[in-house]
Amino acid sequence: QSVLTQPPSVSAAPGQKVTISCSGSSSDIGNNYVSWYQHLPGTAPKLLIYDNNKRPSGIPDRFSGSKSGTSATLGITGLQTGDEADYYCGIWDSDLRGVFGGGTKLTVL
């Protein structure tokens, strides 16, 4: 059981918007930056968002991140069937100890 709580699954239709939450506490999300990863089965996870809301080069602006207090949110707009994947939030504390959320399976209906 991860200390970062994500909904097990979310779904939406193509073209719609979806948000995925990541809930923690003052000792994890509250005091550290959040990153988000997309994981398609059989492939390497991909960094989508770092430092709460920054996108690496090559990640489309359909993906966005935000953080408020002890929770973070990943938003995906203009959903595509290729976005079907598992999504994970993650944090690293000042001792470089990391933790991932439990993961959320996105289904594009």
In the complex, the residues that contact another protein under the rule CB under 8 A are 2, 32-33, 35, 37, 39, 43-47, 50-51, 56, 86, 88, 90, 92, 95-103
With left for phi above 0 and alpha for psi between -120 and 50, is residue 58 left, alpha or beta? left
CB of 54 to another protein, least distance (A): 9
17 vs 54, beta carbon nearer another protein: 54
Which residue's structure tokens are 């059989």?
A: 42
9 vs 16, beta carbon nearer another protein: 9
CB of 99 to another protein, least distance (A): 6
38 vs 71, beta carbon nearer another protein: 38
Cα(83)–Cα(23) distance, rounded to whole angstroms? 22
Q: Order the strands of the 18-23 sheet from edge to edge.
A: 18-23, 71-76, 63-68
CB of 15 to another protein, least distance (A): 28
50 vs 70, beta carbon nearer another protein: 50
